[in-house]
Amino acid sequence: MRISRKYALAVSAAALLSVTAVTGASSAAAGESAPRYQPEMVKALAASLGVSEQAAVERLDQQDAQQRRLAGLAGKGIAADGAFFSSAGTLTVNAEDAAGAARIERAGLDARVPARGEDELERVKAKLDAVAAKRVPSGIASWGVDLASDTVTVEVNSDKGTAAKAFLAEAAKHGSAVKVVRGQEQLAPQAVIYPGSQMTFNGYLCSVGYGAKDRNGKQYLVTAGHCIEDLPVLKFNGTRFAKGTHSRFAVGTRSVDMGVAAIDSGNSIATSVGTWGNGSSVAVRGSSRAASGAALCKSGQTTKWTCGTVGSYNISVTYKDQNGGPDTVVSGLASSSVCTEGGDSGGAYISGNQAQGMTSGGPIGQKCTGGVNSRGSSYFQPLDDALSYYGLTLNTN
């Protein structure tokens, strides 16, 4: 049987579905300007970083300002080969040479000339992807570019299998460009049976993702592909509201964890992300991708409102089928230090007021404690990639 018949696909009150109308954050009082960031985002970030709320606001301001400067480099003819935030919130930009680094620094950003850089590392990663495409490297949890360490990082759960050994042999050919980290957990799409969910199909449950529209104005739900692998009819409180139309996930095959469902007339998806009792929902203003190291939070049915930072993009992972079926290699994910558990699949990730993606999976058996401050890891499907692939525009608040 296929994965959607074996996993309960989790419910999320995260990007809350409204069967009748879009809901959003309360508007500012007449004559008052809206705050730059909603209190729920500031409070969660402050708790996650262990700083005051004022310091959290300053961190978000600094992050946004640096990312605007980064976006403006191309217009000035300045080449950048990747960028990442440090734990202190400083954005460092990779330059091709010393002259390029000087131009980046004159633009107001920190720069370095790495031994390799993003483009070269992506080529190394592509070669590892090619090995995985021939045979699923069970035991290799994930692999992707880590800009901060200037390596392709390979996380290993077990190197006993033939395919895993072949994968590691290929990785070793690239010398110090590849960093192998052993003792990692096995990964799986995070999904469990949960009666009375917000979104159901054929007796199964799944999280609600983001709402978007095509060029003709037709409305879609954008979610994790493994949630709608079989393109089911989706229900909310027992009433149909959408029908799966496309998914790029198929158990046992090379997959991408994105999918969409057509929203029935009269129904809609809220343009704000729920915070599970931590105040009002956080309005979605756009979907600009946050740089590696940027702060972000996630809302999900199981672990509620948790925060951390963006890891790396274009990560490939091996998801283990916990019911004895074939493993599945999923590409194009982003990693994060946000803690999630089974039941969070499809949950919404947001940085400031910019939607980032939907929960895909994480370590099997991971337990999150400490609420917002929970430490852990997870993988999410970047929203901007899904919107681009399906030709959709995000609905914003």
As a dihedral over the C-alpha atoms of residue 115, residue 120, residue 122, residue 124, rounded to 10 degrees, the angle is -90
CB-based contact 184:140 (threshold 8 Å): no
Q: How far apart are CA 332 and CA 220, in angstroms?
A: 21
Of the chain, the end-to-end C-alpha distance in Å amounts to 40
Catalytic annotation, pick one of 257, 327, 344, 385: 257
For this structure, is 97 an active site residue?
Answer: no
List the catalytic residue out of 48, 226, 299, 316. 226
Angle, CA of 47, 65 and 112, to the nearest 5°: 100
Distance CA 138, CA 129 (A): 13
Q: What tokens appear for 241 in the block?
A: 């509201």
Cα–Cα distance, 342 to 371 (Å, whole number): 16
Apex 240 CA angle, 238 and 241, nearest 5: 125
> From CA 150, how far away is CA 174, in angstroms rounded?
13
Single out the catalytic residue among 281, 292, 345, 351: 345
Answer for the pair 39, 287: CB distance below 8 angstroms, yes or no. no
Q: Which residue has the tokens 């495409």?
A: 133
One-letter amino acid at 253 equals: T
| Residues forming the active site | 226, 257, 345
